[in-house]
């Protein structure tokens, strides 16, 4: 099972998928593909874990929901603001490439570990994400969903905090 040391997340128009170009400990690279369906099912589990990290506000359910949205929105904005630019991972000749069919999520008090699995048993990559890194990555995935014009119904409203305007995601070319 390979551990991704760092990875680049980008929407690829020709595939209509999100590509994770990952770098392994030895410098080798892998390419993992996320489908819209998988992302749509994965998002509630990850955003739900982030929401559970904050204690609920007292009072009525409406007050709790508003409080949760505000606090999560501020935390998401802060995570986006602290995202430092890094050179992208370029998988020129990846040692492996597969479509992710299953994601196993292991949760602890301060992090999640994603095991991204393909069709074959050997197709597995591990991505540990502390809460702050998970928040940053989810912001990137959200932006890529917008870039691909994917539905955002699975995303909570607080994910929009700090998200670039749709027009800023790049020019639109129709083929």
Give me the chain's average pLDDT, please: 87
Sign of the CA dihedral with 126 first, then 130, 133, and 135 last: positive
Write the DSSP symbol of residue 56: P
In this prediction, residue 57 carries a pLDDT of 63
Q: CA of 174: how far to CAs of 14, 86, 151, in Å? A: 12, 30, 18
DSSP string, 148-165: TT---TTS-GGGGTTPPP
SS3 60: coil
What confidence tens digit (pLDDT) does each residue in 150-170 have?
999 999 998 886 677 654 554
The residue ranking higher by pLDDT, 83 or 96, is 96
Query: How much is the average pLDDT of 34-42?
Result: 98
As a whole number of angstroms, the distance between CA 21 and CA 15 comes to 14
Per-residue pLDDT band for 43 (boundaries 50, 70, 90) equals very high
Q: Is the pLDDT assigned to residue 1 strictly greater than 90?
A: no
Q: What is the CA radius of gyration of the chain?
A: 17
Nearby residues of 130 by Cβ (< 8 Å), 6 or more positions away:
110, 111
As a whole number of angstroms, the distance between CA 18 and CA 26 comes to 24
């Amino acid at each position: 099972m390979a551990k991704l040391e760092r990875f680049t997340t980008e929407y690829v128009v020709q595939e209509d998928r999100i590509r994770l170009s990952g770098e392994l400990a030895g410098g080798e690279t892998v390419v993992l593909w996320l489908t819209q369906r998988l992302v749509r099912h994965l998002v509630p589990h990850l955003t739900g874990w982030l929401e559970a990290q904050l204690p609920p506000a007292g009072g009525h359910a409406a007050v709790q929901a508003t409080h949760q949205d505000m606090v999560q929105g501020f935390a998401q904005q802060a995570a986006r603001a602290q995202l430092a630019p890094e050179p992208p991972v370029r998988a020129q000749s990846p040692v492996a490439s597969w479509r992710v069919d299953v994601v196993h999520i292991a949760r602890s008090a301060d992090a999640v570990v994603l095991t991204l699995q393909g069709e074959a048993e050997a197709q597995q990559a591990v991505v540990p994400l502390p809460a702050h890194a998970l928040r940053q990555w989810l912001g990137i995935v959200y932006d890529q969903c917008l870039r691909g014009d994917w539905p955002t119904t699975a995303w909570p409203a607080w994910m929009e905090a700090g998200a670039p305007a749709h027009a800023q995601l790049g020019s639109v070319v129709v083929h």
